[in-house]
Amino acid sequence: MLETTIALNNGLEIPALGLGVLQSEGSAATSAVSTALQTGYRLIDTAAAYFNEREVGQGIRESGVDRADVFLTTKLWMTDYGFDNALRAFEISTSRLEVDYLDLYLLHWPWPANWSQTIAAYKAAERLLEEGRVRAIGVANFKPDHLRALVRETDVVPAVNQVEVHPNFQQPVQVALHKELGITTQAWSPIGGVYSWAGENGSVPPLQNELIQAIAEARGKTPAQVILRWHLQERRSAIPKSVNPQRIAENFDVFDFELTAEDMAAIAKLDSGRRGAIDPDDATPEVIDLTIDEA
């Protein structure tokens, strides 16, 4: 039977499947989080840069599920990199969420042009880990060179690297490096949602892929369920976003069937090697121009 959690490199168990909340706004974010937790989800993935930490916190409280039973992730935005800035931003995020600790704190993007501040921010995360304010720390969007440099220059190997992974962009080299370093891969845009906000750029979104649709029909499941099951059978964490109660339930209903070795091999062949989103080397704060609120 497929395990519903994955052991991180510090022994902490992370639920394999969680809810993402990018672009979930206002009361829709609150009710998505609350509905998901009532459906059985135990992992919620937000970020300071999603501007919904307050609503996410409220959703957790409204769900009736104990805070202690929820695995809560938020992320530090680049303009808050640097040691003191990162510690301050952590306090702001946790106060917006109304929690006194996080389960996972991630650096949202590498910032190669400001590497010393990136490292200083990670060292602040190490401090928070030491103090018990976070239970695990990690990164997002770190390419192999960024990861190798980070591991060289800091003490705690990231527990997680959250990166773009879906059938069209499977990142085998990146994922193999995670395995080598003991880092859990967490897939963002796991069902290919990136094409809805970054443009399709000539790609067929995975949910519309004929092979995925044929497998879904053969297994009596939906394309989204097939893709999420593929992530889980690859022992990857995945955080599909939805604000729709039916789709929130659909995306969690993936533990009652199995993809065959042939299904898995066929999906592996869909990798185009082409990102849907920006290359992390180009994702500077000037390019992704956001102002994080001070409170």
Shortest distance (Å) from residue 39 CB to ligand NDP: 13
Q: How far is CA 210 from the centre of its chain?
A: 26
SS3 for the chain is CCCCEEECCCCCEEECECEECCCCCHHHHHHHHHHHHHHCCCEEECCHHHCCHHHHHHHHHHHCCCHHHCEEEEEECHHHCCHHHHHHHHHHHHHHHCCCCECEEEECCCCHHHHHHHHHHHHHHHHHHHCCCECCEEEECCCHHHHHHHHHHCCCCCCEEEEECECCECCHHHHHHHHHHCCEEEEECCCCCHHHHHCCCCCCCHHHCHHHHHHHHHHCCCHHHHHHHHHHHCCCEECCECCCHHHHHHHHCCCCCCCCHHHHHHHHCCCCCCCCCCCHHHCCCCCCCCCCCCC
Nearer to ligand NDP by Cβ, of 52 and 94: the residue is: 52
Nearer to ligand NDP by Cβ, of 5 and 213: the residue is: 213
Shortest distance (Å) from residue 249 CB to ligand NDP: 9
Nearer to ligand NDP by Cβ, of 46 and 58: the residue is: 46
Confirm if 272 and 169 have CB atoms less than 8 A apart: yes
Shortest distance (Å) from residue 48 CB to ligand NDP: 12
Of 50, 81, 105, 195, the catalytic one is 50
Residue 135 in tokens: 């239970």
Residue 59 in tokens: 């959703």
Find the residue with minimal CB distance to ligand NDP. 193
- Look at residues 122, 120, 66, 56 and name the one whose alpha carbon lies nearest to residue 93: 56
Nearer to ligand NDP by Cβ, of 104 and 129: the residue is: 104
| Active site (annotated) includes residue 41 | no
Nearer to ligand NDP by Cβ, of 59 and 193: the residue is: 193
Shortest distance (Å) from residue 197 CB to ligand NDP: 6
Nearer to ligand NDP by Cβ, of 131 and 201: the residue is: 201
Shortest distance (Å) from residue 46 CB to ligand NDP: 7
Summarize as ranges the residues that interact with ligand NDP (CB under 6 A). Answer: 20-22, 45, 108, 140-141, 162, 188-194, 196, 207, 222, 224, 239-244, 247, 250-251
Active site amino acids: 50
